[in-house]
């Protein structure tokens, strides 16, 4: 009976919210594409944190850092997201289930519509298995990833996030509002040796070399990052996670 009621309410609200959902979609897209471009920061990073915020709101994954960070970012709009997601959220609150979106697909049934959600869950599982054997956690192309600012900050891992300087400055600015900055060392691509000409970590970490990297502000080092094997994942992205024993410090790397 509860599910039937939730479905009826959802259908009514979904019809009523169509104009509002269009406005919300335009608002989110404008901020992601236009505002991000004007700020000189990654446009795709917003998709990740929007997905993490949505998972938190819908009870799929606790992410207090994303819940705090997303509303203050100038290049996304939680108001716009609410206009799009409100009928689905009401359905979730009545039924206690996530029926369509957001939802975690079964293994082997993943699709592009749930790419961010399933990729997040997939990485979480691997990180949870590997973190007990690692001393460092290095996020290549970290963008607005918030793992370092939730439970992982209590894991005892030395955490480093690598990305382009503009993206790191943007993230650092808004993390400071919540006092989360001490959880990880944010390292600019310019600090990589040899320097990666395009994307942070791709030429250096995937080349088979073991560069030393340093944060120009803190002087902290990611010690001897070993070569990172690349494996295909859901969708068309190339991602990898590994825990290496051959390095002087056991380093778990994740490319997001």
- Sequence spans of domains, the chain: 2-95, 118-255
Per-residue pLDDT at 180: 62
pLDDT tens digits for range 66-117: 999 999 999 999 999 999 999 999 999 999 988 888 988 888 777 777 888 9
Question: What's the predicted TM-score (pTM) here?
Answer: 0.74
Q: Is the pLDDT of residue 193 over 50?
A: no
Class of the domain covering 118-255: alpha beta
Q: Which two tokens stand for residue 163?
A: 């990305």
User: Which alpha helices (DSSP H) does 76-201 contain, by range?
Assistant: 78-95, 115-130, 165-175
In this predicted structure, which of 16-20, 103-107, 195-199, 238-242 has the lowest mean pLDDT?
Answer: 238-242
Cis peptide before 194 (omega within 30 of 0): yes
Q: Do residues 111 and 105 make contact, with C-beta atoms less than 8 angstroms apart? A: yes
pLDDT band at 27 (very low <50, low <70, confident <90, very high): very high
Decide: helix, strand or coil at residue 231: strand
Q: Is the pLDDT of residue 32 over 60?
A: yes
Mean pLDDT of 122-146: 86
What residue has token string 């439970």?
A: 151
- String of b and e for 167-185 (b: at least 16 CB within 10 Å)? bbebbeebbeeeebbebbb
What is the 8-class DSSP label of residue 102? S
């Amino acid at each position: 009976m509860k599910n039937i009621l939730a479905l009826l309410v959802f259908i009514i609200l979904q019809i009523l919210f169509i104009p509002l959902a269009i406005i919300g979609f335009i608002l989110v897209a404008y901020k992601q594409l236009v505002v991000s471009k004007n700020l000189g920061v990654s446009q795709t990073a917003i998709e990740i944190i929007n997905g993490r915020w949505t998972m938190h709101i819908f009870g799929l994954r606790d992410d207090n850092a994303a819940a705090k960070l997303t509303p203050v970012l100038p290049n996304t709009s939680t108001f716009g997201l609410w206009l799009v997601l409100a009928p689905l959220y009401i359905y979730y609150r009545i039924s206690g289930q996530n029926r369509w979106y957001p939802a975690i697909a079964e293994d082997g049934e993943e699709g592009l519509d749930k790419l961010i959600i399933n990729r997040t869950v997939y990485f979480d599982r691997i990180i949870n298995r590997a973190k007990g054997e690692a001393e460092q956690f290095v996020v290549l192309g970290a963008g607005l990833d918030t793992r370092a600012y939730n439970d992982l900050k209590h894991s005892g891992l030395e955490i480093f996030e690598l990305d382009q300087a503009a993206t790191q400055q943007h993230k650092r600015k808004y993390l400071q509002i919540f006092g989360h900055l001490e959880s990880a060392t944010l390292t600019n691509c310019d600090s990589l040796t040899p320097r990666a000409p395009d994307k942070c970590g791709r030429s250096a970490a995937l080349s088979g070399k073991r560069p030393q990297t340093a944060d120009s502000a803190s002087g902290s080092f990611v010690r001897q990052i070993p070569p990172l094997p690349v494996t295909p994942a859901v969708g068309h992205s190339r991602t990898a996670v590994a825990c290496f024993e051959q390095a002087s410090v056991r380093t778990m790397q994740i490319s997001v």
